Amino acid sequence: MIRGNYLHIRFYFFLLLITASYVFVACTPTEPKIEEAKIQRYAESMHFNSKILNRNVRYSIYLPEKYSKINSYSTVYLLHGYGGNECNWMKDGKIDLLIAPLEKANKVDPMIYIMPQGDNNYNVNRFDGTLNYMRMFTQELVPLIDSLYATKKDRAKRAIVGFSMGGYGALILAAKNPQLFTVSVPLSMSFRTDEQYMNEPQSVFDYQWASIFGAKGTTGDARLTDFFKLHSPFHFFASNEKKLTPTVNYFIDCGDDEETLSETNNALHKLMLQKDIAHEYRMRNGGHNWDYWQSGMREALLYIQSCFDANSYPQETGNSNSEKFSGNLVQLTISETILNVWLPAGYSTSSSMYPVVYFYHSIEANRLAETNKMCAALDSLQKVKPFILVEMNAAEVETRLINMQQISALIDNSYRTKTANTNRIGIGNKLGAKLLLVAANNYSDLMYASFIFDAPLGTEIPKLTAKFMYLSCSDTSLDFDLMNKLYLKCRKEKITHQFRVYNGLPTYNSLLQGMNEAIVSIGLFLSM
């Protein structure tokens, strides 16, 4: 009897042991198994614990529509601006509405987009070691993403993009970590040249910059600490640190309506040109807002895809001009110089008065062939807003001292023109642009708007009296520095202006590409 009870006790103890073992195994934490069909394409404000920062770091992620761990994907890191967060690119930038159609059109591959929390630290380690953000980013965040998602764990398939403060982050993270990133896209990069940095108001300097780069309470040269120089592209590019990052592909974009940032970005472009650091540069119409960054991201994504594919990015954008001009060519002579005049279609049967476009033409090879190309570039505008086009050889105009007053009088006496200066604009390339600038200043009563392309200006730019100036050059132009000085002069003297820097080579085709960019602005003046 006692033995039977003992056996029962042993049996119940055995059952209890099995049950306890089962419960223990069932309660052991395991990695959740998520069915791929249920993976959410956009996940907002996820987080991980950073040992380097000793706190949680948030990030949002946007996956390909048909994301599968069977495949692997390139990655693009998207950095936000000062005061922003990891949700900005989706909630404000609506980046998904731009990505989806590009994927559908097979212009970009399905990629993984990571949007980390950046706080206000400019994406670098602080000078005093209190917040090592760059270390966290490179040693924790990137490895984490590569471990959790089906990424291509290769710098050749990894890009970084940012706007404003994040634009600087996109530049510095790639420049200092070329082993991680092959593409850097700074949009409206927020940083400072040495001069801007030294002249920053004390309160702004102490609050925004000194906590990161040091020298709180200082002024002038004392602000340019070694730590600041280590992180300033105006120093590490100038000292040829580019040799350490030969394979980073830079695409820099900034609007001409920015305040000091356009000056900063233009100065960086100038330095990179001087140091022969390969990059793309764009300056378009716009300011510090999402409209500008969204419009810039389309080409930026195409550029990123080109780099991921190891293709050479096109150095010029194709022209989609018509093959001929709608107007009819006639010729006039002034001081033994022939003027080519294109009259709009229907001129002979009309009694209308027409605005006039003066083209100061710096000829490269064949005057008539090149002028025909210019006419073709203007053809779409001519059909909507008819005008008289007057083309002149810039070299002959300069040699024979023919001024705008003489040319204008001849055209007004020969054809039905609108004589108010608001109905007259000038276009000039290279030497022609230089002569046009003189004409616009000396005869502002005869010409309202001037469209200047690649002007080889002198070191001293005269006081400007023109009403409106449209400045344009390609990002490889040898005259960029001079055009930038003219841009700064317009800003200083409060001349209404626009500035464009576009994709192109310093060739005649660059002028045609610039014309394509300028058509809308020209049309606005012809409609006044």
Lowest-pLDDT range of 161-165, 404-408, 515-519: 515-519
Question: Residue 454 and residue 429: Cα distance in Å, rounded?
Answer: 6
Residues 138 and 284 in one domain: yes
Amino acid (1-letter code) at residue 167: G
Q: Evaluate if pTM is beyond 0.85.
A: yes
> What is the rounded (10 degree) CA torsion for 398, 400, 405, 409?
-130
Residue 92 inside a domain? The answer is yes
- What CATH number did the domain enclosing 160 receive? 3.40.50.1820
Q: Cα separation of 63 and 111, whole Å?
A: 7
**Among 516, 500, 506, 503, which Cα is nearest to 254's?**
500
DSSP state of 157: G
pLDDT of residue 259: 86
Note the pLDDT of residue 382: 87
Beta partners for 390? Answer: 341, 358
Residues 339, 301 within the same domain: no
Is residue 11 exposed (0-12), middle (13-18) or buried (19+ Cβ within 10 Å)?
Answer: exposed
For residue 477, the tally of other CB atoms under 10 A from its CB is 22
Q: What average pLDDT score do residues 211-237 get? A: 96
Q: Tens digits of per-residue pLDDT, 251-288?
A: 999 999 998 999 999 999 999 999 999 999 999 999 99
DSSP classification of residue 161: E
| Structure tokens given for 326 | 């709608």
Three-class SS of residue 203? Answer: helix
| Gyration radius from the chain CA atoms | 31
CB 484 within 8 A of CB 525: no
Report yes or no on 261 lying in a domain. yes
Q: Which of 308, 338, 369 is the last residue of a domain?
A: 308
Residue 31 lies in a domain: no
Between 359 and 40, name the one with better pLDDT.
Answer: 359
- 3 state SS of 4: helix
The domain of 414 spans 328-526
Q: How confident is residue 510, by pLDDT bands cut at 50, 70 and 90? A: confident
Residues 335 and 425 in one domain: yes
Domain co-membership, 288 together with 354: no
DSSP state letter for 153:
-
Name 196's bridge partners.
none
| Sign of the Cα pseudo-torsion (341, 343, 348, 352, in order) | negative
The answer on 410 and 458 residing in a single domain is yes
Residues 464 and 499 in one domain: yes
338 and 297 share one domain: no
In this prediction, residue 27 carries a pLDDT of 32
Q: Is the pLDDT of residue 3 over 70?
A: no
For residues 422 and 482, state if they share a domain: yes
β-bridge pairing 75-79 and 356-361 = unpaired
**27 in any annotated domain:** no
Query: pLDDT category, 506, cuts 50, 70, 90?
Result: confident
Task: Considering only residues 158 and 29, tell me which one the structure prediction assigns the higher pLDDT.
Answer: 158
Rounded CA-CA distance 447/455 in Å is 18
> What pLDDT is stored for residue 9 in this prediction?
42
Q: Would you say residue 38 has pLDDT above 70?
A: no
Of 367, 359, 361, nearest to 411 (Cα)?
359
Per-residue pLDDT tens over the stretch 63-102: 999 999 999 999 999 999 999 999 999 999 999 999 999 9
CB 504 within 8 A of CB 317: yes
Give the total number of structural domains in the chain: 2
**Predicted local distance difference test score (pLDDT) of residue 414:** 96
Does residue 254 share a domain with residue 167? yes
- Residue 470's nearest CA partner among 503, 510, 514, 438 is 514
- What residues does 424 pair with on adjacent strands? 356
Of the pLDDT bands very low, low, confident and very high (cuts 50, 70, 90), residue 244 is low
Rounded to whole angstroms, the Cα distance separating 239 from 4 reads 91
Q: Is residue 299 part of a domain?
A: yes
Q: Based on the domain organization, do 347 and 292 belong to the same domain?
A: no
pLDDT at 10: 47
Q: Measure the CA–CA gap between 333 and 358, rounded to whole angstroms.
A: 15
CA distance 208 to 194: 15
**In the chain, % of residues over pLDDT 70:** 88
Taking residues 324-335, what's their average pLDDT? 87
> How high is the pLDDT of residue 13?
42
Antiparallel, parallel or unpaired: β 424-429 and 449-453? parallel
Residue 294 and residue 377 in one domain: no
Q: How confident is the model at residue 37 (pLDDT cuts 50, 70, 90)?
A: very low
Q: Domain boundary at 276, 308, 340, which?
A: 308
- Within 8 A by CB and 6+ apart from 60, the residues are 42, 43, 44, 45, 46, 86, 87, 89, 90, 114, 115
Query: Does residue 119 belong to any structural domain of this protein?
Result: yes
Q: Is residue 3 in some structural domain?
A: no
Q: 362's torsion region: left (phi>0), alpha (psi -120 to 50) or beta?
A: beta
Residues 260 and 360 in one domain: no
What integer best gives the mean pLDDT of the chain? Answer: 88
| Model pLDDT, residue 169 | 98
DSSP-derived pairing of the beta strands 468-474 and 496-502: parallel
- Token output for 238: 């100038």
Q: Average the pLDDT over each of 22-31, 73-82, 498-507 and give the range with the smallest value.
A: 22-31
User: pLDDT tens for residues 153-171?
Assistant: 999 999 999 999 999 999 9
